Structure formats: C-alpha cells, structure tokens
Chains A and B, each alone.
Chain A
Amino acid sequence: MTTQTASATSFLQTAQGGHLQPTERVLVGVLGLGLALLGLGGGRARGLILGGAGLGLAAVALRGSNPLATALKIQQNEAGETLVSDAVTIGKAPDELYALWRPLERLPQIMSHLKDVQVLSETRSHWTVKGPLGNVSWDAEITADEPGRRLAWASLPGAGIENSGEVIFREAPGGRGTELVVRLKYKNPAGTAGAVIARIAGQEPSQQLRDDLMRFKREQELGFNPTTEGQTSGRNKSQTINEKIRNVS
C-alpha cells in the first residue's frame, strides 16, 4: 500500500499545473475561438459540443492557465514529459486482472496503440508502437512486479521515444472489484498545447487509453463490447426511400 501511495504522489508532484508559454497561449486562444466560431456558425447539434469546447479554450487562453489540460487527464512535468493516466473500476478480483496484464505479449490486445510486444526474457521485452509517421520500436524492462498489485516498465536507453508506464490493481471498496490505474509517461516535443490540440483532434494517447480501459472493462464484465455498427438507419441512401418529409417550423 505505501509503495502505491508514494508513487501516486510523486507522479502527480512532478506534474506542473499547466502554465502556458506565450506562444502556447496564442495557439490555444486561436484554436479556442476557431472552435467557438465553428460551433456558433454550424448551427448543428455537433456545434454545441464544439462551441462549448471552443469557448472554454478561449477562456483558458485569456486566463493564461490551462485547467483544461488537467481535465483532459494530460499533465506535463518540468522535464517536458507528458503524463497520461486513467483509471477504471472492473467487477473482477485484482489477481484475475493482474494475470491478464502480466504476460506482456498480450498487452497489444488491451492497449490499442501497441502493435506488438515480444518477451525477450523474464524482465526484458521489445515493444512496437504504431506512430503517426510509421512504427517505432524500443527495448523495455520490467521495473516492478508485485503480483496482484502492480506492474511497471520503462524503455531502455536508446529508445526512440523515451517512455515508461505502470499499472496498479487496487481492490475497490464494497466488493466492487478492482480499481485499475494506468499511468504512462512519454516525451512529447509539442508541449502542453500540442497535447491539448492532439486531444481535441482525436490522436492523443489519453483518449486511446480511455477507450482501451472501457473496452477491457466491458470484455471482462460482459464478455463483449456493445456496438451499433451495422445497424439500420436512414443513411444508407441506396436502400432508403423518402416516403414523407416535413419541415416542422
């Protein structure tokens, strides 16, 4: 327990509340106003979300602090590393879930940004990630292994992207199963604004992490992930016949 608490505090302490550099402030402000205008002009339902996000970002730029970055689960430390973390509660015992994460070669089934993990020895492994500009690979080693409680790894010197990560399996109070916490740390050249922009644009690891954790939870609790893919709608124009349209105004 003490190790978990200690690592949680140090993880958060290394993060800066997210003060923006002047250039970042301009970037976020422009993006925010752009989104707001898009939202107002679009008049469509989606505009509500974009408009809301846009005004929020513009306000952030005016204040010069970036609370949004925290809300989006992205933080940055002094060394310029981006920290991504998320957690999910799953209705299964910590041991059971740990057993699914420990064989590292299975990780790509859980974490969608991973293409492949090859186990080289008891502690060493070779990781391949799908990047926006092609695959990136590196060697990593397990830095902590506490069965049923915690698993941590870090890239070895020479890795293209310096990164590390840990997974914590904590019993949820009241027999609710396991609180599974994942923390990833990586170097991101574009800074906070870059991370926020990537997040809005849909390419940021924290989004993927969220999806990955929910998908894992649902696989564990239901045995599958519910979907609407392939359902009928009025969008398949080849098969749709307009019987009647009504402008209700």
Chain B
Amino acid sequence: MKAVIWQGTNKVGVETVPDPTILQATDMIVKVTATAICGSDLHLLDGYIPSMEKGDILGHEFMGEVVEIGPAVNNLKVGDRVVVPFNIACGVCDYCQRGFFSACDNTNPNHRMAEALYGAVSGGGLFGYSHLYGGYAGGQAQYVRVPFADMGGFKIESGLRDEQVLFLTDIFPTGYQAAENCNIIPGRDVVAVFGAGPVGQFAARSAQMLGAARVIVIDRVPERLALAEKAGTETVNYEQVDVQVALREMTGGRGPDHVIDAVGLEAHGHGPGALLDTAQQKLRLTFDRITALRWAIMSCAKGGTVSMPGVYGGLVNEMPMGAAFAKGLIFRMGQTHTHRYIRPLLERIEKGEIDPSFVISHRASLHDAPELYETFRDKKNGCIKVVLDPWGPPSAAD
C-alpha cells in the first residue's frame, strides 16, 4: 500500500510499504477513504516531538471502511463505515471508565519512555505520533491497523460525506473540549482564541455554541482570520496591532474571561521572550516556544481559564507564573478525550448545526502529501486544512 512516511526532520515521503495485518485479536484493518494533515503533524515534521524514527507512518486523522476484524471484535463488522479517534483507548481501565480516554493506562507499549519524561504513568497511545506515544503506525495510508477496534471504530450510518465527519477524529472534538474546559457562562463570558488554525476555528465556533457573549480570534494569517469572521467572531491581527492593548480595549480593560491557546509549541512572535525561545529551542535547551501562551496568560481576566489544546512537549522558559498566580487563573490542557465527544458532535452535524468541512482549503491525492505538508506548514496558497484521498491518482504535475 501507499503511505506517508516520516523520513527525518523536514523530510516526508510517500512510499509503498507492506499492507498492515491483524496483530492482536481486538484489532481491525480499515481501508482509509479520507485522511487529513493536522497542525500536530507539523511538530513531527519540524522535529520537536522526540522519538520519531525514520520509516514511521504518519497520520492520526482518518476514516474509512472496515475490511478485516480480529476474532475478539464484537461491535463492528466488515463493511462498516467508521471514523477513528486519534487516541487509542482500552475502554476498561479506570481512566477510560471515567471518560478520560486520552489518559488510558493501557495502550502505550512504550509507557516507560513517556514516564521517564513526564512522570507518573504514561497516557494512552496515539496513531502516527512518535514512539513516546506508542509508535503505532498512522493513517495517512491506504490501510491502517486499528487496535482496540470496539473502542476505536465509531460507525457513521447517515449519508454525511466523508469530509463532513472526518474531523470528528480530532480537531472538532479538540476545539470543542478547549471551549468546554472554559466553563463559559452563556451570554456573559468573552473568550479569546489564540491561533486561527483548524483547532482555533473549531474552538471559536464551539465557544459560540456554548453561549460565549463574544469570541475574539487572534492570528496573523489574513485568510484564517477571515474564515473566523465568517462565523461572526471578532479578530485581531497581532502583526498589525499590539495584541495586549487590543484585547484590553475590546474587553473594557478586564481582559477576556477565558483564553484558549490553539497555537502550541511552535508559536511565532516578537519581543525578547520570543527571541530567547527560538535561540534556546535551536540549541535544544528548551523544547517549546511559548509566545502565544504568554500572551494568553497576560491578557486573561482575573479568575479566568487558560485552556490549552495547543501541544507542548517539554520545558518552557520565561513562563509568567506570577501573573497566573496573581490573577488566580485556572489551567486546563492535554490531549483531547476524543471518544467522549464523537457521538454528541456527530449529532450536531446531523442536525445541521455545523458543517465541519468549512475548514478545508485543499483536497488532494495522498501522493501529494509531501508538497502539502510544506504548503500547510508555511500557510501558503491560503492553506488552512488539507484532506487527502489515499486512492487518488498522482497529480498531473509529477
């Protein structure tokens, strides 16, 4: 089969590799009909998530058709159309039982690596997201092995198109959880979303669904800000105005009641803090550049929530902890508990409350993934979200 392969930092390829097979009784094989590139994949491309190995298959946003099931799979059958959450959950451990699916105790075979870096017990495995997170082959491929199939296969029975339900695998639940974590008081709270990428877009729309009085989206990419405005949000371009000043003014000096950092460890920025981050990240003295997080903390109103769907990998410098303490901020973060949200959000899509395909800017063949990783990373050609067809022919340009 064809698959998108991590060949080293800044090096992505399409290769023909052996088809996946059932390895354990609870596995299934899914024939992938649609897959997407996520902002999280860019952290792998850029080499900021440790423990990738050359030859790893990328991709954690995918859906398709069940073509084979292991003998212990009970809830699915060959031919079912499924979306698959990007996290792998066992369904039986204490965390899964309580709905904290991304904290699953049992699905990361490389738990010790994660524990050495992060302490306590490792969270669950992820598809196509480094050996630290289990080393599971990803879904930017024609076929993928899905372990814990009964947990990982959510049937889609309505006539919705792939691109309307594909983002249930990650970015829609991720944006939604980020907004839900703010505990928005409807009609009262103002929410600021840093980052107008796909996650920021869904976070902004979810904050609206949850009743935010106003939603303000911050980025520097004009077409991304324009897309957020289409949903009725206000926007700030941080390259044109001082974002702190703008947010103060827009909120009558209070600051937004809640802030969402939908940027993560590769934030751009200016000022001494940002320069220091970049230098130290290059020297591998720090993992993460935190400009967006700093802005979020500094602008947030007293008693507010700093909700962080944006990914962080290690240590940070110049974290304004004093500001967070002085204002009594609440921090919420982490990998999304995707399984929790798929059914309720699917219902919203079926009712027509939202059509997640609004975020797609590029549709292409899997064969073109390497170029599109670059286009998406550099925010070129109006790129906001890329969906790949694993079965599409190579583009004419090749």
Contacts and interface: CB of A to CB of B under 8 A. Distances in A.
A245 B7 contact: yes
Interface residues of A, number: 49
B84 to A, nearest CB: 16
B237 interface: no
Interface stretch (B110-118, B179-187, B300-308): B110-118
Q: Which bucket holds chain B's interface residue count?
A: 35 or more
A177 B93 CA distance: 10
B50 A48 contact: yes
B55 A226 contact: no
A91 interface: yes
Contacts of B283: 40
Contacts of A39: 284
Interface stretch (A19-27, A107-115, A216-224): A216-224
Contact of A228 (B16, B115, B136): B136
Contact of B54 (A177, A217, A235, A236): A235
Given A240-B15, A246-B13, A207 B370 contact: no
B94 A244 contact: no
Main secondary structure of the interface of A (DSSP, over half): mixed
Contacts of B12: 246, 248
B79 interface: no
Interface stretch (B19-27, B157-165, B243-251): B19-27
A243 B94 contact: no
B112 A211 contact: yes
Given A45-B50, A240-B16, A233 B92 contact: no
B23 A91 contact: no
B380 to A, nearest CB: 12
Given A51-B284, A210-B112, A232-B17, A247 B11 contact: yes
A47 B9 CA distance: 12
A247 B9 CA distance: 9
Contacts of A224: 24-26
A112 to B, nearest CB: 13
Q: Which of A49, A51, A230, A232 has the most CB of B within 10 A?
A: A232
Contacts of B136: 228, 231
Contacts of B367: 243-244
A227 interface: yes
Given A51-B284, A240-B17, A230 B112 contact: no
Interface in B235-291: 283-285, 287
Given A49-B50, A228-B109, A233-B137, 10 more contacts: A44-B9, A44-B47, A45-B49, A45-B51, A91-B94, A210-B112, A231-B136, A234-B15, A242-B13, A244-B13
Interface of A: 39-40, 43-49, 51-53, 55, 89, 91, 176-177, 207, 210-211, 214, 217-218, 221-222, 224-236, 239-249
